[in-house]
Amino acid sequence: MPIELDTPSTAPSTPSGAGLWARLSQRPMGPGDRMLFTERLALLLETGVPLHAALQSLHQQSEQASQQAMIAAMSDDILAGERFSNALARHDLFPSTYVNLVAASEAGGFLPEVLAQLVDMDEKEERLRRTLVSALSYPLFLLAFSVGVVLFILVYVFPKFAVMFNSIRDQLPWTTRVLLVVSDVLTRHGAVVASVAAGLVALGWMLARRPDVRLALDRAKLRVPVLRDVFAKVYLTRLLRVMGISLERGVTILATLEACRGVVPNHEVQQFILGLETDVTEGKGISSGFQHSPFVPPAVRQMVATGEATGTLGRVMGRIADAYDRDLTKQLAQLSKLAEPVMLMVMGVLVGTIVSSLILPIFKLSRAVH
């Protein structure tokens, strides 16, 4: 049912059953929806359309019920005299960083410019996410394919040779004897093995949700070689980009740091941000916290200190984030290329071991027959 816009303050009227079905059938909104909303709103505002009229236009263009309801609520808030940032803060789709930047732009009168920067920031975050997924997808595919091949041979191929090998069991290579035992367990008790595997996965998932385990994993990400370098760059890129755009647009340092607490889902980084807040409150400056952080590279510490001393901290942080973004893309591509031959080698060793465990006993049987 289309939603009438003649009286923006009137809530859309739909039957309760239809409204429930619409909510269930609509996918939840995510960063892509936020990016599209921000981009369209910025374009309308840049052409001189008032904010309330722009929201009404976006309401008419939207085809998703949940997004229509969100825009209608924001339109009502604006019509009632609320600030746009307050209207955004009532919806989970917009993080505190987004809301703070919009609040600063309302005070400074440059809302379209900030919205354009928010779109650019979301695009860079999405590009970084795609880079991470791309770097991991092929090695994970090779790993899954290797496991599938091994299970197929153990479950469907080895049992056909088990009876044949019984006559020379004492002469079989140790790898063949081990694989025969594993094959027998999988064929006889496959359901039990699958249940145990599923239970272990569920147990690991539950353990990963415990605060102490999550803390240990967060620490490991910033301490294990290779992983430490990658995760540190991912976290710093995201953190410095948000801080850079916030500081450049007039958001105070304390408000910026408070908004950044949830930007990086890592306890160590969150503690680092709390330390920065303490240093700023005590008058030490933000560069003091960067100087004592173990996962911040020396070059970043120096550039942050220089930016703070020259009053160009926001611009410097944005430059660092862009440089780390490019460097991280290259590093992930190199790691992906390195992982491919390693996974192929592992797959070759596994399959080669299994095939040799089949062929060598067959040669022994053929020599015994002759």
Are 150 and 35 members of one domain? no
Are 344 and 199 members of one domain? yes
Give the dihedral sign, CA 78/82/83/85.
negative
Query: What percentage of the chain exceeds 90 in pLDDT?
Result: 6
Are 166 and 90 members of one domain? no
Helical segments of 80-172, H only: 84-89, 96-108, 111-152, 158-165
Any domain includes 9: no
Residue 5: the pLDDT is: 35
Any domain includes 224: yes
Are 150 and 82 members of one domain? no
- Residue 254 tokens read as 């304390």
Q: Point out the domain boundary residue: 76, 94, 112.
A: 94
Q: Which residues touch 25 (CB under 8 Å, ≥6 apart)?
A: none
Are 327 and 208 members of one domain? yes
Any domain includes 205: yes
- Residue 243 tokens read as 């801080």
Any domain includes 3: no
Are 161 and 290 members of one domain? yes
Are 269 and 196 members of one domain? yes
Are 144 and 88 members of one domain? no
- Residue 328 tokens read as 């991280």
- Residue 16 to residue 331: CA distance in whole angstroms: 52
Which DSSP letter does residue 167 get? G
Q: Do residues 249 and 104 lie in contact, with contact meaning Cβ atoms separated by under 8 Å?
A: yes
Are 64 and 166 members of one domain? no
Are 176 and 240 members of one domain? yes
Number of domains composing the chain: 2
Q: Do residues 48 and 30 lie in contact, with contact meaning Cβ atoms separated by under 8 Å?
A: no
Q: Do residues 37 and 58 lie in contact, with contact meaning Cβ atoms separated by under 8 Å?
A: yes
- The per-residue pLDDT for range 185-203, each reduced to its tens digit, is 888 887 888 898 889 889 8
Any domain includes 53: yes
Q: Do residues 341 and 138 lie in contact, with contact meaning Cβ atoms separated by under 8 Å?
A: no
- Report helix, strand and coil shares of the chain as percent, to nearest 5: 80, 0, 20
HSE (CB half, 13 Å, CA atoms) of 11? 7
**Residue found by looking up tokens 């008032």 in the block:** 50
pTM above threshold 0.95: no
Q: Point out the domain boundary residue: 42, 60, 94.
A: 94
Any domain includes 103: no
Are 187 and 88 members of one domain? no
HSE (CB half, 13 Å, CA atoms) of 128? 23
Please give the residue range of the domain that contains residue 22: 16-94
Per-residue pLDDT of the chain (370 residues; tens, 9 = 90+): 333 333 333 334 444 444 443 443 455 667 788 888 989 998 998 888 898 899 999 988 888 888 888 999 999 998 888 889 889 988 888 887 788 888 877 766 778 888 888 888 888 878 878 888 887 787 788 888 888 888 888 888 878 777 777 766 667 778 888 888 888 888 888 788 889 888 988 988 888 888 888 888 888 888 888 788 888 888 888 888 888 888 887 888 888 888 787 778 888 888 899 999 998 898 888 888 898 888 888 989 999 999 989 989 989 998 998 898 888 888 888 887 787 788 888 888 887 888 788 787 777 666 655 5
Are 63 and 191 members of one domain? no
- Residue 183 tokens read as 């094959």
- Find the CATH number of the domain harbouring 162: 1.20.81.30
